[in-house]
């Protein structure tokens, strides 16, 4: 464990196949919140919401394998939701955490739904950040194209330009200072001193060649996984999202009538979770959920 001056402690834990993974811990409350990031994202995305929640909860923010400060897998075929989910259960087991609230952004939301369907008794509640059991085809195509478009950058101004090109449609009207901070969450300084994406390039290989529809060799229906989310669930949808459409959320609500919903203004895929609308919705949902003993 490493203490920091930033309001969290840093930790590492071993996986069943020998990798060492990283997570941050905020707060020390009795209820545990686990934050699961998007496809190429990492624990740093959750800093503001984790800091906010840390006054009431113990918040764990994970770097999935191949991202951030977690180890990179030599076999790209392990960059798969089944492996990420297994790694997360392993962390909860090693920490003796009997149950947790899951907050998942994009890929992390899919993980949260599947985890809830696997071990419902260990999931108190689920918060889906611009994630559902289906993705709008146009948005999914954009994400795939972004893997091909992100090239080598020479310096930090180049990294900022590339980052804005990728995310500005989802995060409009943000000041330059925001992008300088945001790029540091996406890139790291490489061995040659140049910025590089803080995720393994082989994650793209897994997307192109892997079968993401199977978990532990079993075909997974994401709608069936969502249907098994019997515990309280909140879905946040970015108003401008090209991944989670209003129609998909409407279908989710028909399947789960007690689904809580919030639309986050001026956000695409995905909200940052530091927006007043995000914080208000999360606070209200958790207060109601825990008051009712879910």
Q: How many CB atoms lie within 10 A of CB 292?
A: 8
What confidence score (pLDDT) does residue 210 get?
A: 65
What is d(CA 87, CA 65) in angstroms, rounded to the nearest whole number? 8
How much is the average pLDDT of 9-25?
97
How much is the average pLDDT of 176-186?
94
Q: Is residue 163 part of a domain?
A: no
Q: Is residue 157 part of a domain?
A: no
Q: Is residue 30 part of a domain?
A: yes
What confidence score (pLDDT) does residue 228 get?
A: 93
How much is the average pLDDT of 92-100?
97
How much is the average pLDDT of 277-292?
92
Structure tokens at 56: 């009431």
Q: Is residue 151 part of a domain?
A: no
Least confident stretch, 187-196, 213-222, 270-279: 213-222
What is d(CA 72, CA 34) in angstroms, rounded to the nearest whole number? 21
Q: Give the distance, in angstroms, between the CA of residue 44 and the centroid of all CA atoms in the same chain.
A: 10
Q: Is residue 242 part of a domain?
A: yes
pLDDT at 29 over 90: no
Q: Residue 243 to residues 54, 140, 150, 201, 292: CA-CA distances in angstroms?
A: 29, 7, 20, 22, 32
CATH number at residue 42: 3.40.50.1820
What confidence score (pLDDT) does residue 50 get?
A: 98
What confidence score (pLDDT) does residue 3 get?
A: 56
Q: Is residue 63 part of a domain?
A: yes
What confidence score (pLDDT) does residue 138 get?
A: 86
Least confident stretch, 38-47, 77-86, 205-214: 205-214
pLDDT at 16 over 70: yes
For residue 92, give its domain range: 2-138+213-291
Q: Give the distance, in angstroms, between the CA of residue 282 and the centroid of all CA atoms in the same chain.
A: 15
How much is the average pLDDT of 224-248?
96
The tens digit of pLDDT for each residue in 123-170 reads 999 999 999 999 988 888 887 777 666 678 899 999 999 999 889 999
Tell me how many domains the chain contains.
1
Q: Is residue 132 part of a domain?
A: yes
What is d(CA 106, CA 139) in angstroms, rounded to the nearest whole number? 12
Structure tokens at 36: 């699961």
Least Cα distance to 107 among 125, 90, 132, 127 occurs for: 132
The mean pLDDT value of the chain amounts to: 91
pLDDT > 70: what percent of the chain? Answer: 92
What confidence score (pLDDT) does residue 4 get?
A: 57
pLDDT at 1 over 70: no
Q: Is residue 19 part of a domain?
A: yes
Structure tokens at 115: 């985890």
With beta carbons less than 8 A apart as the criterion, state whether 91 and 13 touch: yes
pLDDT at 8 over 70: yes
The tens digit of pLDDT for each residue in 252-268 reads 999 999 999 999 999 99
Angle at 190 between CA 185 and CA 195, to 5 degrees: 50
């Amino acid at each position: 464990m490493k203490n920091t001056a930033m309001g969290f402690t840093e930790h590492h834990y071993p996986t069943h196949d020998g990798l060492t993974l990283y997570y941050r811990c905020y707060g020390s409350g009795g209820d545990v919140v686990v934050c699961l990031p998007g496809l190429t994202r990492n624990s740093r995305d959750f800093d503001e919401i984790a800091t906010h929640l840390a006054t009431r909860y113990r918040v764990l923010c994970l770097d999935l394998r191949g991202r951030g400060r977690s180890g990179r897998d030599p076999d790209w075929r392990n960059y798969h939701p089944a492996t990420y989910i297994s790694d997360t259960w392993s962390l909860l087991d090693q920490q003796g955490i009997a149950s947790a609230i899951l907050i998942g952004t994009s890929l992390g939301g899919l993980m949260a739904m599947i985890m809830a369907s696997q071990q419902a008794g260990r999931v108190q509640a689920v918060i889906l950040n611009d994630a559902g059991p289906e993705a709008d085809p146009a948005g999914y195509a954009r994400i795939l194209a972004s893997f091909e478009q992100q090239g080598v950058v020479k310096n930090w101004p180049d990294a900022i330009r590339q980052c804005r090109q990728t995310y500005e449609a989802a995060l409009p009207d943000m000041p330059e200072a925001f992008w300088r901070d945001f790029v540091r969450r996406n890139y790291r300084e490489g061995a040659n001193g140049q910025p590089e994406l803080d995720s393994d390039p082989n994650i793209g290989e897994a997307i192109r060649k892997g079968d993401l529809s199977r978990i532990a060799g079993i075909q997974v229906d994401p709608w069936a996984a969502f249907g098994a989310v019997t515990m309280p669930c909140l879905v946040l949808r970015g108003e401008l999202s090209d991944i989670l459409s209003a129609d998909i959320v409407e279908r989710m609500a028909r399947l789960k009538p007690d689904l809580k919903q919030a639309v986050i203004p001026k956000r695409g895929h995905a909200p940052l979770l530091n927006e007043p609308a995000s914080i208000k919705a999360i606070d209200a949902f958790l207060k109601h959920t825990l008051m009712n003993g879910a």
